Amino acid sequence: MSSSIESLVNKEYQYGFVTDVESDTIAPGLTEDTVRLISSKKDEPEWLLEWRLKAFRRWQAMTEPHWSNLKYEPIDYQAQRYYSAPKSITPLQSLDQVDPELLRAYDKLGISLSEQKHLAGVAVDAIFDSVSVGTTMKAELSKYGVVFCSFTEAVHNHPELIKKYLGSVVPYSDNFFAALNSAVFSDGSFCYVPKGVRCPIELSTYFRINAANTGQFERTLIVADEGAYVSYLEGCTAPKRDTHQLHAAVVELVALDNATVKYSTVQNWYAGDKDGVGGIYNFVTKRGKAHTNSKISWTQVETGSAITWKYPSVILQGDNSTGEFYSVAVVNNMQQADTGTKMIHIGKNTKSTIISKGISAGKGQNSYRGRVKMLPKASGSRNYTQCDSMLIGNQCGAHTFPYIEVANNSSTTEHEASTSKIGEDQIFYCKQRGLSAEHAISLIVSGFCREVFKELPMEFALEAQQLLGITLEGSVG
C-alpha cells in the first residue's frame, strides 16, 4: 500500500523545461541603483520611482521575519538578480509581435496566447520572468469597460487608478517581503472592473520563471468598483534548477461597496528534488480590502515551491462584508509550507469562512497559520474555521497555529481542526468493493479536498486534478 501512495505523490514535475531565449538580465545585487535601473527600464514616471525608493529604504531597515515554521538557508539578497526579460519583447508590444519561441513555451504549458486558439471564456496575461509577454482578449473586455493589462501598461495608461490604489491594501512598509517587492517589482497584472459591471469572462495571469538565478517580483492589483464582479485565476510554473530561486509577490484586491472579487490560484512552482535541492522560495503577501456589502474570496491550491510563505487575507472594513479562504496545500519530499489567512473583522455583521486542507507526504512539513480578529466595533460578526490535515507516511508533519482574538461579545467564532491519516480501514472498505489501492487513495484524497475544489473555476479544477493525480469527478460540483 505504501508503494502505491508513493507513486501517487511522487509524480514527475511536468513543467521543468527551460526556454532558450536571449535575455536582458541585470547583474546580481540590490542597491538604490538597481531600483532606479528597473524603473528606467520600464520608463516609469517620477512618482513611482519615488515610491519604490521609499520602499527600498524601508526594506533596508527591516530584517527578514523568522516567526514562521519554515527552515531554510539564509537568503543572500545581494546574490540575486532582480530583472530579466526576453530581448525580443519590447514594452507595450501587441500579441502578434511576440517571439514564436515564447509562444511555443506557453503552448507547452498548455496555454495558447494566439487569439484564435486561446480558451474561450478566459483572458490571459502571460508574465515571463520580469515582464508581460502579452494579454489576450483585451478588445473583447474593453467593450465592457474592463481594463485588463500588464502592470507596466497600466502605469502608462491608467496612472490615476494606480496612484489611487497601489499600496492602499498592502503598504510598502507592511512587511519585509512586501517592501522588497515594492522596491523591485518588475511587472504583474492590473484589472479594473467599472461600476455595476459583471466581468463576463475569467481573467487570468500565468506566471513563468525561466531565467536562472533570477527572482520574480510581480505585483497584481485588482479593483472591482461598486457593484462589480470579477473572477481571477493565477497559475505559476518554473524550470527545474538545482539552486533556489526567490519569488516575492504582492497581490492587492479592492472590492468597493457591493462588489465581489474571487481570486483563485494554482501554484505549481518547481518544488526542488526529493533531497530538497533547488526549488522556488515563495514569499507572497496577498490581501484584500472589502468595503460595505462586498465579498472577497480566496481559493488556493498550493502544490509547488520548496518553501511557501503565504497568507491571503481579507480586511473586512465595510459593514456586512464577507471574506472567504479555501485552501489545499500539499507538501511532499522536503517541501515546507506555512500558509493560512487573516480575517480582520472591522465592520459590523461581517462574516468570514476559512476552510483549509493540508496534505503532507514524504518529509514535507505543512503548517496552517491563521488569525481571526474581531475588533470591538465588529458587532454581530461571525467566523467559521475548519482546518484539517492528512498525513501520508510517517516522516512528515502537520501543524496548526490559529490565533483567535475576539473583543466584542456579539460576535461568534468557531474553530475546528483535525489531523488524520488515510485510514487502513477506508482503503480496505474500498478494496472490498473492487477498487485498487491507488484508486482508493485518490478517491479518499479528492473527498478530503472536495470543499475547496468545488470553489475552483472549471478550468482550474481540471488542472488541480491533474496536479494531484486524483479524480475530481464525483467530488466536484
Partner 1 sequence: MSSSTEAYEQAFGALRASGGTGWLPALRREAMDRFSALGFPTTRNEDWHFTSVTPIAEKVFKIAPTRTGPATLSPADITALVIGDPDWHRLVFVNGRFEASLSAFAGLPAEVRVTTLAEALKESPEFVAEHLGKLASGEGQTFTAFNTAFAQDGVVIHVPGGEVVEAPVHIVHIADSHAAGVGIHPRLLVVVEPLAQITIVESYACAGPMSGGYLTNAVAEIEIGNGARVDHYKIQRESTDAFHVGTTQVRQGRDSMYHSFSYAAGAAISRTNVYTQLAGENAEARLNGLYLIDGAQHADHQTFVEHLAPACASRELYKGILDGGSHGVFNGKVYVDPIAQKTDGKQTNHALLLSDHARIDTKPQLEIFADDVKCTHGATVGRLDEGALFYMKSRGLGAENARALLTYAFAAEVLETIEVDALREGLEALAFARFTQSELR
Partner 2 sequence: MLKIENLHATAGDKEILKGISLTVNSGEVHAIMGPNGSGKSTLAQIIAGHPGYVVTSGSVTYEGKDLLAMAAEERAQAGVFLAFQYPIEIPGVTNAYFFRSAYNEVRKANGMEELDPIEFLDFMDKKLKLVEMDEAMLHRSVNAGFSGGEKKRNEILQMAVLEPKLAILDETDSGLDIDALRVVAGGVNALRTRENATIVVTHYQRLLNYIVPDFVHVLAHGRIVKSGGKELAVELEARGYDWVMEAA
Residues that bind partner 1 (CB under 8 A): 67, 376, 379, 389, 391-421
Radius of gyration of the chain (CA): 22
CA distance 361 to 287: 29
| Contact string 369-408 vs partner 2 (x = CB under 8 A) | ----------------------------------------
CA distance 472 to 465: 6
Q: Where are the alpha helices (DSSP H) in 299-453?
A: 424-432, 437-453
Min CB(440)–partner 2 separation in Å: 8
- Choose the one of partner 1, partner 2, none that binds residue 435, judging by a C-beta under 5 to 8 angstroms depending on kind: partner 2
| Contact string 407-446 vs partner 2 (x = CB under 8 A) | ----------------xxxx-xxxxxxxxxx-x---xx-x
**Residue 204, amino acid:** S
DSSP H/E element including 21: none
When the beta carbons of 386 and 466 are compared against partner 2, the nearer one is 386
CA distance 420 to 418: 7
Min CB(431)–partner 2 separation in Å: 4
Min CB(400)–partner 2 separation in Å: 18
When the beta carbons of 408 and 426 are compared against partner 2, the nearer one is 426
Min CB(389)–partner 1 separation in Å: 7
- Choose the one of partner 1, partner 2, none that binds residue 408, judging by a C-beta under 5 to 8 angstroms depending on kind: partner 1
- Choose the one of partner 2, partner 1, none that binds residue 414, judging by a C-beta under 5 to 8 angstroms depending on kind: partner 1
Does residue 119 contact residue 96 with C-beta atoms inside 8 Å?
A: no
- Choose the one of partner 2, partner 1, none that binds residue 404, judging by a C-beta under 5 to 8 angstroms depending on kind: partner 1
CA distance 313 to 291: 14
Min CB(77)–partner 1 separation in Å: 24
Min CB(325)–partner 1 separation in Å: 17
Picking from 285, 342, 367, 361, the residue whose alpha carbon sits closest to that of residue 71 is 367
When the beta carbons of 161 and 417 are compared against partner 1, the nearer one is 417
When the beta carbons of 17 and 401 are compared against partner 1, the nearer one is 401
- Choose the one of partner 1, partner 2, none that binds residue 444, judging by a C-beta under 5 to 8 angstroms depending on kind: partner 2
- Choose the one of partner 2, partner 1, none that binds residue 160, judging by a C-beta under 5 to 8 angstroms depending on kind: none
Q: Does 450 bind partner 2 (CB under 8 A)?
A: yes
Q: Does 448 bind partner 2 (CB under 8 A)?
A: yes
DSSP H/E element including 171: none
Residues near partner 2 (CB under 8 A), total: 27
Cell of 351: 462574516
**Residue 162, amino acid:** I
Min CB(429)–partner 2 separation in Å: 4
Min CB(400)–partner 1 separation in Å: 5
CA distance 177 to 13: 27
Cell of 227: 457593484
Which position among 12, 73, 275, 473 is part of the footprint of partner 2 (CB under 8 A)? 473
CA 10 to each of CA 1, 243, 460: distance values in angstroms, whole numbers, following the listed order: 14, 20, 21
Cell of 33: 541603483
When the beta carbons of 10 and 157 are compared against partner 1, the nearer one is 10
CA distance 147 to 191: 5
CA distance 80 to 160: 32
Q: Does 475 bind partner 2 (CB under 8 A)?
A: yes
Min CB(472)–partner 2 separation in Å: 10
Contacts of 334 (CB under 8 A, 6+ apart): 272, 274, 275, 276, 306, 362, 363, 364
- Choose the one of partner 2, partner 1, none that binds residue 406, judging by a C-beta under 5 to 8 angstroms depending on kind: partner 1
- Choose the one of partner 1, partner 2, none that binds residue 447, judging by a C-beta under 5 to 8 angstroms depending on kind: partner 2
Picking from 463, 7, 11, 73, the residue whose alpha carbon sits closest to that of residue 306 is 73
Residues of this chain, 451-470, that bind partner 2 according to CB under 8 A: 451
The angle, 0 to 180 degrees and rounded to 10, between the axes of the packed helices 458-468 and 437-453 is 150
Give the end-to-end CA distance of the chain in Å, rounded to a whole number.
Answer: 29
Min CB(435)–partner 2 separation in Å: 6
> Under the rule (CB under 8 A), what is the footprint of partner 2?
1, 423-426, 428-437, 439, 443-444, 446-451, 473-475
